[in-house]
Amino acid sequence: MAENRFGIHITPEDIIEALSFFDSWEDRYKYIIDLGKELPPLDPTCRTDDNLVRGCQSQVWLIHRDEGDKLFFEVDSDAFIVRGLLGVVLAAYNGKTREQIRDFDINAYFDQLNLIKHLSPTRGSGLQAMVRRIQALAST
C-alpha cells in the first residue's frame, strides 16, 4: 500500500483552512481537484467489483487494511473531482481508530466546508455512500 498523507499529514482542519482562503467555488473546486492529484494511485489489480463503492455516479474503489488499532484506506476514482472529494473524506478518516471514525461528525465537517450544497445531488449521494462504506468498515 502506498503512503497516503490524507488523515496523517493532511487533516480536516487543514482542508477547512485551505478552502476558507478561496472566495469562489470555482477556485475551491480547483483546490479539491488538486487534492485528488495528491492521492497515491491505486494498484490496478485492486479495481475489482468487490472494492467498488456502490451508489457513486463515478467509479470509486476503496480498499483498507488494519494496522494495530487503526484503519488505513486507499481509494481511487475515474473522475478528478471525485478523487479530490475522496481526499477530503480521507483527511477525516485515514489512519484513525474505529472509535475515532465512528465518533467523527462528518456532517459537521461537510457543513464547515459548505460542501454538500455545492455538489450535484448525485455527487453528494456518492460522497455519502463513500462515508457509509468507511463507517461500516469501522463498525466491524
- Alpha-carbon gap, residue 42 to 62, rounded angstroms: 9
Instruction: Return all residues near 36 (Cβ < 8 A) that are at least 6 apart.
Output: 77, 80, 81, 82, 83, 84, 85, 86, 87
Nearest alpha carbon to residue 13 among 76, 88, 114, 68? 88
Active site residues: 56
- Alpha-carbon gap, residue 134 to 6, rounded angstroms: 14
